[in-house]
């Protein structure tokens, strides 16, 4: 007997802000949650699985219209026509109170009650599936103690949407512990809610967060998919993660130390990208890039802001047989400037270096100066207008200060593009 365990589909998640990215493959990104579910159904049919288990958050919230529900229902009909039984618990995003629109049920698709824990027992498959849905978005209590006892002679699966003892970036819903899960006596706990895959316990019982089916933004990086589990004689014979994402997100840290030209930066980027996509060239790869290190590229960027991001964007145009979209480029470069020598200069160049050094003497001094300067500005720079300066971390402030210094020094050195043209 085989089954698939998936969670956190967030079908038709809105992916806000895509229209603000020039050249973003918006339609492919918005359709990714649907395509990953289609891929899951294709996998279930191909592998002839007996069960598919969804551990919550099928939807991102109430449907904008019926098309979202109709799409999911159509995929469930595909599974049922292939003889696959489906089990669903509702999580915080698709709790009973969250989804108000309704469609006719699909026979053989079992949705666990939000009022009490339930067991679905299938003698022919020798499997029993236990679970309970969320009645509301916030469930502060441990649901597991009220789950039914294991059914003798069955492979017992518990389905639970939970934060366990807490996971970074996730609200503490239906909290519980591994010890509580173990004491239940089940063979497998199919968990949901946490978007990063995690094998919490290997066996007795196997406890797994499969992660979400499709990454939705730059913080949900790496392969996304489901668990494919094979049970023989009431024992797990094999458990495999299957990647089903159609868009894969990456966070690429690019060390530019020693690079001196935009061409060198582009080649450096391409080498790293090829390593990232080598095992998944059939997907769209969305990349957030951080360029860091000590490099004279810092001066090039100061002379003409946007040069480094444009060079990286241009490099993607040279790639064959793989789709790469650079979502953002962040810079954390340091100038190879000899600060000690520069600070000794008696001109404006030296005065700027001394001022920056004085401002950055301590984190507290830097923050106080930074907040004071922003308070005196009538219009904040792009990217800061919606930010409370008191909430900025010191590293971000130092980066902004270094960028400002580089721009001023470039102009003072007569390196500004406009000045050279005169």
Same domain? For 112 and 191 the reply is yes
Same domain? For 41 and 140 the reply is yes
Same domain? For 355 and 316 the reply is no
* End position of a domain, from candidates 336, 371, 405: 336
Same domain? For 151 and 88 the reply is yes
Same domain? For 233 and 254 the reply is no
**Mean of the per-residue pLDDT values of the chain:** 89
Confidence of residue 422 (pLDDT cuts 50, 70, 90): very low
* End position of a domain, from candidates 336, 356, 384: 336
**Residues forming beta bridges with residue 292, ordered by sequence position:** 255, 332
Question: Is 158 a residue whose pLDDT tops 70?
Answer: yes
**Residues forming beta bridges with residue 289, ordered by sequence position:** 252, 329
Determine if the peptide bond prior to 205 is cis (ω within 30°).
yes
Which pLDDT does position 387 carry in this prediction? Answer: 59
What is the domain count for the chain?
A: 3
Measuring CA to CA, how many Å separate 56 from each of 6, 140, 150?
A: 9, 16, 21
> What is the pTM for the complete model shown?
0.80
User: Scanning the structure block, which residue is given the tokens 């066996």?
Assistant: 203
Same domain? For 323 and 373 the reply is no
| Least confident interval from 214-218, 278-282, 396-400 | 396-400
Residues 378-417 as b/e (b if ≥16 CB within 10 A, e otherwise) read eeeeeeeeeeebeebeeeebbbebbbebbbbbbbeeeebe
* End position of a domain, from candidates 336, 362, 386: 336
3-state SS, residue 348 = helix
Same domain? For 134 and 51 the reply is yes
CATH number at residue 101: 3.60.21.10
Same domain? For 299 and 255 the reply is yes
Confidence of residue 381 (pLDDT cuts 50, 70, 90): low
Same domain? For 270 and 229 the reply is no
Same domain? For 351 and 319 the reply is no
Same domain? For 92 and 145 the reply is yes
Minimal CA–CA distance to 54: which of 212, 267, 217? Answer: 212
- Kindly report the backbone phi and psi dihedral angles of residue 41, in degrees, each rounded to the nearest multiple of 5, phi listed first: -65, -40
Domain with 85 in it = 2-243
User: Scanning the structure block, which residue is given the tokens 């004085």?
Assistant: 358
Same domain? For 318 and 347 the reply is no
Residues 8-23 as b/e (b if ≥16 CB within 10 A, e otherwise) read bbbbbbebeeeeeeee
SS (H, E, C) 122-165: ECCCCEEEEECCCCCCCCCCCCHHHCCCCCCCCEEEEEEECCCC
State the DSSP H helix or E strand holding residue 324, giving kind and residue range, or none if neither: strand 323-334
Mean pLDDT to the nearest integer, 12-16: 79
């Amino acid at each position: 007997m085989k089954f698939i365990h998936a969670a956190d589909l967030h079908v038709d998640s809105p992916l806000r802000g895509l229209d603000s990215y020039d050249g973003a493959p918006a339609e492919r990104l918005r359709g990714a949650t649907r395509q990953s579910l289609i891929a899951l159904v294709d996998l279930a049919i191909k592998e002839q699985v007996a069960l598919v288990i969804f551990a919550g958050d099928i939807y991102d919230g109430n449907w904008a219209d019926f098309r979202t529900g109709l799409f999911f229902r159509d995929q469930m009909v595909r599974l049922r026509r292939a003889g696959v039984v489906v089990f669903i618990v509702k999580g915080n995003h698709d709790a009973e109170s969250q989804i108000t629109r309704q469609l006719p049920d699909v026979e053989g698709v079992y949705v666990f009650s939000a009022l009490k824990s339930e067991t679905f027992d299938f003698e022919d498959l020798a499997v029993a599936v236990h679970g309970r849905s969320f009645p509301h978005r916030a469930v502060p209590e441990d649901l597991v103690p009220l789950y039914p006892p294991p059914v003798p002679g069955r492979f017992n699966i518990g389905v639970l949407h939970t934060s366990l003892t807490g996971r970074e970036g996730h609200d503490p819903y239906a909290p519980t512990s591994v010890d509580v899960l173990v004491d239940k006596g089940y063979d497998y706990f199919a968990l949901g809610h946490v978007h990063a895959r995690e094998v919490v316990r290997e066996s007795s019982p196997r406890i797994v967060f499969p992660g979400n089916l499709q990454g939705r933004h730059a913080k949900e990086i790496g392969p996304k998919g489901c668990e494919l589990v094979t049970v023989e004689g009431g024992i797990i014979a094999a458990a495999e993660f299957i990647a089903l994402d159609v868009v894969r997100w990456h966070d690429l840290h690019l060390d530019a130390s020693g690079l001196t030209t935009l061409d060198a930066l582009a080649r450096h980027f391409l080498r790293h990208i090829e390593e990232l996509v080598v095992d998944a060239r059939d997907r769209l790869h969305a990349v957030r890039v951080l360029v860091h290190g000590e490099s004279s590229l810092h001066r090039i960027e100061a002379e003409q802001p946007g040069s480094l991001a444009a060079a990286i964007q241009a490099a993607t145009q040279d790639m064959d047989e793989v789709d790469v979209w650079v979502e953002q480029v962040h810079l954390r470069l340091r100038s190879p400037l000899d600060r000690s020598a520069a600070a000794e200069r008696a001109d404006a160049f030296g005065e700027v270096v001394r001022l920056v050094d004085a401002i950055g003497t301590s984190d507290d001094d830097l923050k106080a100066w930074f907040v004071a300067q922003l308070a005196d500005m009538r219009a904040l720079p792009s990217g800061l207008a919606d930010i409370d300066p008191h909430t900025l971390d010191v590293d971000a402030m130092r980066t902004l200060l270094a960028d400002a210094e580089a721009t001023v020094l470039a102009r003072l050195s007569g390196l500004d593009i406009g000045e050279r043209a005169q």
